[in-house]
Amino acid sequence: MRWLVCCVGLLALSGPALALDEPVVWRDQDTGCGYLLTPSGGISLRYRRNGTPDCPDAADSGVIDETARGIARGLDALQREVDRLRERYDQRR
């Protein structure tokens, strides 16, 4: 009897989870980005395993990030050089 009650309870609790439909992947023709569409009308951007959006342009984001870091390092070095020249100029006065 206890086994029957456990099976019925398990089926009753798993009913809502089994009723959920899986989202469908939809790809936008203009951008090429992938989206997850739910049967109830929800939409969400689809992500790859590495956490980047599932878009063709997202692969280039690493190159852009690296370029921005390089520019920031160059600007820091330039600022240090300007400060060094300013101190040198102030010492001559």
Q: What is the mean pLDDT of each run of 10 residues along the chain (93 residues)?
A: 76 65 84 85 84 74 69 91 91 82
Place of tokens 């599932």: 54
- Would you state the pLDDT for residue 18? 59
Give residue 62's pLDDT.
60
How much is the pTM?
0.43
37 with 30: CB under 8 angstroms? no
Q: Catalogue the E-assigned strands of the chain.
A: 24-27, 34-37, 43-45
Instruction: Judge residue 46's burial from the number of C-beta atoms within 10 Å of its C-beta, 0-12 exposed, 13-18 middle, 19 or more buried.
Output: middle
CA dist 30 → 1, 25, 34, 55 (Å): 60, 16, 11, 11
pLDDT for position 15: 64
So what's the pLDDT on residue 38?
A: 83
